[in-house]
A and B are shown apart, each in its own frame.
Chain A
C-alpha cells in the first residue's frame, strides 16, 4: 500500500452538486479515501442516492436539497453539515450547469441564474466554511471551473465567464487565506462523459467533439475526481492558487 491509502481519514468534505456526474464521483472517491461527506444538490433524490453510496463505503453523510442561488439555504446547510459531521475541512464548489446559448438568446433570467449558481453560490458557500477553517488553520477549497473558463467557446458566454470568475476567486482566495494554511485551487475539466454534456449533446455530437481532442476521447467523471482528490490531500500542501485542467490536451494555454 502507498501513503495515498486513506489519506483523507478523519476529514469532512462538503461537495456541492454531489447528486450525480462529477460531483458524485468526487464524493465517492473521497469517501473511499476516508472522508465523511456532506452532499448538497438541487435534486434531493439524487443527493440521497449519493448519500447511500457514501454510507455503503462506511463513511458518514449529511444530505440536503438546496438551491445554490439561495444564500440563506447555502448558509443553513453549511452550518448543519458541520454540526452533523464536524467542521468542514474540504470544500468542493462543484455545483453548476451548462446552457448552450448565443449572446442574443441569453435573457436576464438566464444570465442571473448562471452567475447566482456558479459564482455567488460558490462565494457564499466558501464564506460559510472559512471561519472554522481559519480557527483551525486548516482548509482545502477546490473550485470547479472549466476549460471554457480558460479558453472561451463560441457559445454560452455567460457560462464561460462565470467559470472564469471562479478562477478569479481561486487566485484571490489563495492569497487572502494562505496565512491560515487554507489552500485554494481550481480544477478546470475538459470534456467529460457525465450528466450535463450527455444531456446537452447526443452521442454523434459527442463523438465528433471527441475526435477534436488530442487524446481522442472525453473522460469519465472519476478522471476529474482524481485531480480534485489530489488537491484536497496532504500531497498538495504546497499547492495553492493553481489550476489543474484534465482536458485531454484540448486546451493548452497560460503559464
Chain B
C-alpha cells in the first residue's frame, strides 16, 4: 500500500549518533527522536550531551549518553556492547563526529594530521565495525557517514580535513558493496555551508555572510536541513538506496555523476 508518511518514521529503532552534543549531530538526534527513535547521544562534551539527552527524554524516547573516546577501537566495541545491553542493538549509525581545522599544508603538524584522520576515518571505521556483527545477524542496518562538500571538491585550505572527508566517501562506497548481502545500507551526506557553533566560532559572522553570497541560493543551511537528508537515508524510504551521497549545499558544489 502506498502510504504518505509511515516509512519516514523510526518507531522502535535505535540510532547511535556520534558527535551529537551540538551542531548538526544534535539536530540529527532531535529529528530522529521526534520521528520515534531511541537515541545514543555520544559526545566528548558532557554538559552539551546531557542537555540533548534531556530534550530527547522530553520527547518520550529512551536515551543513552556516552562520552567514550571515538579514536579507541576497544572503547567503541565496549560502547556498542553497552548500547545493546541498555537499549538494544543499534539499527542506525550516523558517523557524524568531526573536527575542523583551517590550516595550510605547512601548518599541519603530525599531531594535527593524525587527529584529523583518527576522528573522521578511524573513528568512523571502528564505530561501524562495532555494530556490523549485530546488523549482519539481524540482516538490518543503516549507516550514514557525514562527509562534506570539501571531500568532493577540495578547497584552498585544510587538506587533511578534505582528504579525511574523501576517505569517508571511500568507506561509503566500499561498505555499500560489502554489506549489501545483509541489507545494510550505507550512504553519505555531504553538507555544504551550515550555520553551527563551529564556523561561528572559527570564522565569525562577517566571514559567514560573505561566504553565503557565493552560494547559488544565497545562504547557508540550518543544521536541521542536513538532518532531513540523514533521516531520509536512514528511514525505510531509503531502502533501495545504498552507496550514494546526498549533498545539501545550496548549489555550491555540483559535480560527479
| Nearest CB on A from B17, distance (A) | 18
Interface string of B60-84 (1 = CB under 8 A from A): 0000000000000000000000000
Q: Is the CB of A239 within 8 A of B247?
A: yes
Question: Can you name 19 extra interface pairs (CB under 8 A) apart from A214-B181, A255-B188?
Answer: A25-B2, A29-B2, A32-B4, A175-B251, A178-B218, A214-B176, A215-B183, A219-B239, A241-B251, A242-B248, A244-B244, A245-B244, A246-B241, A247-B244, A248-B240, A249-B242, A251-B243, A254-B257, A255-B190
Instruction: List B190-234 residues whose CB lies under 8 Å from chain A.
Output: 190, 192, 216-218, 221, 225-226, 228-229, 232
Q: Is the CB of A243 within 8 A of B257?
A: yes
Interface string of B176-190 (1 = CB under 8 A from A): 110011010000101
Contact partners of A249 in chain B: CB under 8 A:
176-177, 180, 242-243
Asked if B102 is an interface residue, CB under 8 A from chain A, the answer is no
Asked if B3 is an interface residue, CB under 8 A from chain A, the answer is yes
Mind listing 9 A-B residue pairs with CB under 8 Å? A2-B8, A214-B176, A214-B180, A214-B243, A215-B240, A225-B2, A226-B237, A238-B248, A240-B216
Interface string of A175-191 (1 = CB under 8 A from B): 10011010100101010
Asked if B254 is an interface residue, CB under 8 A from chain A, the answer is yes
Q: Is the CB of B2 within 8 A of A253?
A: no
Q: Is the CB of B255 within 8 A of A254?
A: yes
Asked if B249 is an interface residue, CB under 8 A from chain A, the answer is yes
Q: Is the CB of A253 within 8 A of B240?
A: no
Contact partners of B192 in chain A: CB under 8 A:
238
Q: Is the CB of A226 within 8 A of B255?
A: no
Which stretch, A15-23, A41-49, A68-76, A229-237, touches the partner chain B? A229-237
Asked if B35 is an interface residue, CB under 8 A from chain A, the answer is yes
Q: Is the CB of B256 within 8 A of A254?
A: yes
Q: Is the CB of B254 within 8 A of A5?
A: no
Q: How far is the CA of A240 from the CA of B248 in the complex (A)?
A: 7
Interface string of A153-193 (1 = CB under 8 A from B): 00000000000000100010011001101010010101000
Asked if A140 is an interface residue, CB under 8 A from chain B, the answer is no
Q: Is the CB of B5 within 8 A of A244?
A: no
